[in-house]
Amino acid sequence: MYKVFVNDVPIILSTEKDLGEKYVSIPLKEVKLKRIIKKINKGKLLYVNLYHQKKEKLLKHLFKKLPVVTAGGGFVLNQKDEVLFIFRNGRWDLPKGKVEKRESIETGAIREVEEETGVKNLEISKFLQTTYHVFQRKGRYRLKVTYWYEMRTDYDGELIPEESEGIEKVKWKSMEKAQKALKKSYANIKLLFPEEILPAHSKDGISQM
């Protein structure tokens, strides 16, 4: 089962034809995905299940529906176990960006974190998970597939927001402060955090299924 976010509304990809009364269930191969996205953006749809009997075919069919942008991002921890956040478009986010041609996803993730925040000496400690969200560019819907890595650093220098990318602030936040920041973040970002620190009202909506 996968979640593909349109803003903060998850489209569910599953092998189950019926997820309950509140879900509109449509065969993944047959769905007019752009039409579904428009309805979600207008607030006309909140619960969507796109199903296929074979789990291994879910992403394959999804990737045929929209152009895919591959990105890498960092859940970055310093020596105090504080998390590195960026503030952009009125929300707290984690640093991430598009992977360039002939660049590994790991290399792209580290490069993007450095460029967006000014943080150096980054080392990947483990892969976390992949998130999926729909965005619009030049009038076309695209699917961003972001590979997230836990990163560690001993960097304690200046934090430099990449203003050309619309980043206004870069901050290290303790888990307590992260909990507050997540109230003003994105649903797919919340998936990366321990459930016990998530804002109470959001747990049901974004927990892994």
Task: Read off the CATH number of the domain in which 195 is found.
Answer: 3.90.79.10
Q: What mean pLDDT comes out for the span 68-73?
A: 97
Whether residues 96 and 122 fall in one domain: yes
Check residue 106 and give its pLDDT: 98
Instruction: Name residues whose C-beta falls within 8 Å of residue 64's C-beta, 6 or more positions apart in sequence.
Output: none
Domain boundary among 18, 43, 65: 65
Q: What is the 3-state secondary structure of 96-161?
A: EEECCCCCCHHHHHHHHHHHHHCCCCCEEEEEEEEEEEEEEECCEEEEEEEEEEEEECCCCCCCCC
Q: Which of 49, 65, 81 is the last residue of a domain?
A: 65
Judgement on whether residues 113 and 185 belong to the same structural domain of the protein? yes
Residues 36 and 14 in one domain: yes
134 strand-pairing partners: 6, 143
Strand 123-137 versus strand 2-6 pairing type? parallel
Map tokens 């569910």 to a residue.
12
Instruction: Return the higher-pLDDT residue of 195 and 151.
Output: 151
Q: Are residues 93 and 175 in the same domain?
A: yes
Q: What contacts 92, CB < 8 A, 6 or more positions away?
A: 85, 86, 181, 182, 184, 185, 189
- Report whether pLDDT(209) > 80: no
Mean pLDDT of 22-36: 95
Residues 150 and 196 in one domain: yes
- Pair (16, 113) in one structural domain: no
Report the Cα 113 to chain-centroid distance in Å.
15
- Angle at the Cα of 17 from the Cα atoms of 15 and 20, rounded to 5 degrees: 115
Same-domain check for residues 85 and 156:
yes
pLDDT at 137 (0 to 100):
87
Residue that has been written with the tokens 């039409």 in this structure: 35
- Cα–Cα dist 176/5, whole Å: 26
Write the single-letter amino acid at 63. F
Instruction: Tell which wins on pLDDT, 62 or 200.
Output: 62
Q: How confident is the model at residue 139 (pLDDT cuts 50, 70, 90)?
A: confident
pTM: 0.91
Whether residue 163 is found in the same domain as residue 81: yes
pLDDT by residue (tens digit) across 143-189?
999 999 999 999 999 999 999 999 999 999 999 999 999 999 999 99
User: Which residue, 65, 83, 107, sits at the end of a domain?
Assistant: 65
What distance, in Å, lies between the first and last C-alpha atoms of the chain?
7
Q: Do both 73 and 156 map to the same domain?
A: yes
- Please check whether residue 97 is in contact with residue 112, taking contact to mean a CB–CB distance below 8 angstroms: yes
Mean pLDDT of 15-40: 94
pLDDT at residue number 203: 44
> Taking residues 9-31, what's their average pLDDT?
94
Do 72 and 61 sit in the same domain of this protein? Answer: no
Residue-wise pLDDT tens digits, 72-120: 999 999 999 999 999 999 999 999 999 999 999 999 999 999 999 999 9
Neighbours of 63 (CB within 10 A): 12
pLDDT on residue 195: 84
- Is it the case that residue 196 has pLDDT exceeding 90? no
**How much is the pLDDT for 208?**
40
Co-location of 202 and 131 in the same domain = yes
pLDDT of res. 206: 40
- Predicted confidence at residue 199, as pLDDT, reads 66
Q: Tell me the residue range of the domain where 81 lies.
A: 68-206
**Could you give the maximum distance between any two Cα atoms of the chain, in Å?**
53
Regarding whether 123 and 184 lie in a shared domain, the answer is yes
pLDDT at 200: 60
* Number of domains, the chain: 2
Please state, for a pLDDT cut of 90, what percent of the chain lies above it: 89
